[in-house]
């Protein structure tokens, strides 16, 4: 019984981990990341707005920024350094 429970937990963990990576592979046009130093008054929305490509939905772009930087929320603080995806021009 315990052995089956261990297998179920491992299977669930692997599945959860892989599903997190699948979100990022939808963004195949990312060619590099730029490091941004967060300044007083910066928000993820404003940073995204300055760096987003024309065809990208800003909410999706912020989601990718949060995933790449392991941010649980959109809260950032002066002095933080975050990675911003840079996309290929299409």
* Full residue range of the structural domain in which residue 51 is found: 28-87
Residue 23 lies in a domain: no
Domain count across the chain: 1
d(CA 60, CA 37): 21
Question: Token match 């599903």: residue?
Answer: 19
Mean pLDDT computed over 23-30: 54
Residue 53 lies in a domain: yes
Q: pLDDT tens digits for 9-18? A: 666 565 555 4
Q: pLDDT tens digits for 37-75? A: 999 999 999 999 998 888 889 999 999 999 999 999 999
d(CA 90, CA 87): 9
Residue 4 lies in a domain: no
Residue 69 lies in a domain: yes
CATH of the domain at 61: 3.10.350.10
Indicate if the pLDDT at residue 19 is higher than 60: no
Question: Token match 């699948």: residue?
Answer: 22
């Amino acid at each position: 019984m315990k052995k089956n429970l261990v297998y179920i937990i491992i299977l669930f963990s692997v599945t959860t981990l892989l599903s997190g990576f699948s979100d990022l592979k939808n963004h195949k046009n990312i060619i590099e990341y730029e490091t941004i130093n967060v300044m007083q008054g910066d928000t993820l929305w404003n940073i995204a707005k300055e760096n987003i490509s024309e065809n990208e939905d800003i909410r999706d772009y912020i989601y990718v920024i949060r995933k790449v930087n392991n941010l649980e929320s959109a809260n950032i603080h002066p002095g933080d350094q975050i990675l911003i995806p840079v996309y290929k021009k299409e």
